Structure 1
Amino acid sequence: MSFRDVYGRTHQLDAPTVEVIAKRLEARSNSDRYMGMLHDYLGAIDLTAARDVLALGCGTGVEVRELLRQPSFSGKVTAVDISPTLIATGKCIAAQQGFADRIEWLVDDAQRLGFQDAAFDVVIAHTLISHVPDPEEVIRQAARVVRPGGRVVVFDGDYATLTFGADPDMDNKIISALIANPRVLRRLPTMFKDAHLELVDSRGWALTEIGHADFLLAGLQSFSVLLPKAGAATPEEVEAFVARQLRASEKGTFFGGYNFYVMIAQKAS
């Protein structure tokens, strides 16, 4: 079976589709609950001594910009994504917000990083390993490029828990279109150990929206493009599904959500 996850092949997609993905990524910054999870785990990292941070799969850089806003962090970030279009978009937004001198933007594959060993104090993979063909290799690469005593931080969704209402067939189609590895976080403690990293912290959240949709609205609005692009559903099928979910949100009968986790590991000194 060919690799279907559209988020994992943004470098291969047409410009209009990547624009939809970019809009979806940026919309996450408008959710207080989503940003609350981000702030929570950034607060769990000792950033005071971190001079060089690597952000893998940075997309448009929502998380990178938020990292740079942390009072305890005065270093610089190298932001890497496989999509030249997303890198260009992220670079433009960061410049508009005054972060141009603190971010280096690079097109690179997190599964085959071009950096030297032990080059970074912290490596962050934010909503990345669920979308790549080889998540184990991403963790091995992160372990290679982080310095002894440094941290590897992985935040992602446990997409096997994703649900919209009472339509498991459509849930499965959404997962197959958008998520290459829906259960990968359940393997992450073992992946850390195999990469000679020690798990030192972990946190979890259930992002559920009952009655009315908020964070999940932007995802729903992207489905009309992304699900047919992945071959998971017809445009008519997706249009009808999205219309049902929007009506449910308007009527106060919406139900949707999934779980998120962060796991933080340390490389031995």
Structure 2
Amino acid sequence: MPFLDVYGRTHQLDAQTIGVIATRLEARANSMRYMDMLRGYLEAIDLAAANDVLALGCGTGVEVRELVRQPRFKGRVTAVDISPTLIEAGQRVAAQEGLQDRIAWRVDDAQDPSLPDAAFDLVIAHTLLSHVPEPDKVIRHAARVVKPGGTVAVFDGDYGTLTFGADRDMDEKIIAALIANPRILRRMPRLLKDAELELIDSRGWALTEIGRADFFLGGLQSFSALLPKTGVATQEQVDTFVANRLRASEEGTFFGGYNFYAMIARKPR
């Protein structure tokens, strides 16, 4: 079966498509509810003790920039993504915001990163594991490159709960096109244990928008460009779905939501 998830193939996409993805990733920074989740799990981490941080699958670096802005954090971040285009976009935005001196950008595969053992105090996989072909490899390498006593933090959506209302058929098409592992977080306690990491904290959120859309607007606006490329639906089908959802938001009849979880683990000393 071919690997459909466009977010897991960003190094293989044309310039127009990767531009749509970059815009979508950056749009998350404008959602107060989304950023509150990010800040919520960062608060659970001892950032003062994290001098060297690795961000796997960083995309354009929304979470990296937010981490660097945290008053407790005085260290540096190595930001890794498989897409050279997204790394370039991340470098550009970080420079515009005056954060370039604290972030080292690197093109690498999070499933097999060419990084030394026990090199980082904190490893973050933020909205990554739902998109890669082999998420267990990411966790094993995170456990390898984090120092004894260090922290591994995973944050992602539980896309098995994703819905845009009563049309379950289109929900499933969206999941098939954009999410390689829609239920990966339900396996995460076992994957962490198998990698000899100790789960020490977890958080959960339901991001639901009823009446009007905010966070979901960015996703909807990207669907017309992304979904037809995978073959799960025709351009006409996707355009009609998006137009109906945007109209519902304008009319105050929108419904959309799914769950997010963060899990924080420690590598034994």
TM-score normalised per structure 2: 1.00
2: CA distance between counterparts of 1:256 and 1:171? Answer: 10
- 1:54 counterpart SS class: strand
Q: For 1:30-49, list aligned pairs within 5 A.
A: 30-49=30-49
Match of 1:3 in 2: 3
Question: Structure 1: which 5+ runs fail to align?
Answer: none
Describe the superposition over 1:233-254 as per-residue Cα deviations: whole angstroms up to 9, x where unpaired.
1110000000110111111110
For 1:218, the equivalent position in structure 2 comes to 218
Instruction: Give the match for residue 69 of structure 1.
Output: 69
Distance 2:250 2:113 in 1: 45
Offset from partner CA, 1:147-180 (integer Å, 9 cap, x none): 0000000000000100001100000000000000
* Map of 1:24 onto structure 2: 24
Cα offset, 1:229, TM superposition: 1.2
AA in 2 matched with 1:217: L
> What amino acid sits opposite 1:197 in the alignment?
L
Deviations 1:171-202 (A, max 9, x none): 00000000000000000000000000000000
Report what 2:139 is aligned to: 139
Measure, in 2, the Cα distance between the counterparts of 1:14 and 1:72.
39
> Alignment partner of 1:19: what SS?
helix
Tell whether 2:169 aligns with 1:169.
Answer: yes
- What is the aligned partner in structure 1 of residue 232 from structure 2? 232
Post-superposition offset of 1:139: 0.1
In structure 2, how many angstroms separate the alpha carbons of the residues matched to 1:97 and 1:15? 24
Structure-to-structure mapping, 1:1-269, within 5 angstroms: 1-269=1-269
Distance in 2, Cα, partners of 1:231 & 1:13: 15
Q: Deviation string for 1:127-148 (max 9, x for gaps)?
A: 0000000000000000000000
Q: Structure 2: which amino acid aligns with 1:67? A: L
Q: Deviations 1:47-91 (Å, cap 9, x if unpaired)?
A: 111110000000000000000000000000000000000000000
Measured after TM superposition, the shift of residue 228 of structure 1 is: 0.6
Aligned positions, number = 269
The CA distance in 2 between the partners of 1:49 and 1:152, in whole Å, is: 13
SS in 1 for 2:36: helix
RMSD between superposed Cα atoms in Å: 0.4
Structure 1: distance between partners of 2:135 and 2:121? 21
Q: Secondary structure at the match of 1:48?
A: helix
Which amino acid letter does the alignment assign opposite residue 16 of structure 2?
Answer: P
Alignment partners' CA distance in 2, 1:161 and 1:16: 29
SS of structure 2 residue aligned to 1:129: coil
Q: Distance in 2 between matches of 1:177 and 1:147?
A: 36
Measure how far apart 1:232 and its partner are. 1.3
Corresponding letter in the other structure for 2:163: T
Whole-Å Cα distance in 2 between the matches of residues 190 and 82 of structure 1?
26
**Aligned-partner Cα distance in 1 for 2:143–2:249:** 43
Q: How far apart, CA to CA, are the structure 2 residues paired with 1:229 and 1:19?
A: 14
Letter in 1 for 2:180: A
State the Cα distance separating 1:230 from its structure 2 match: 1.4
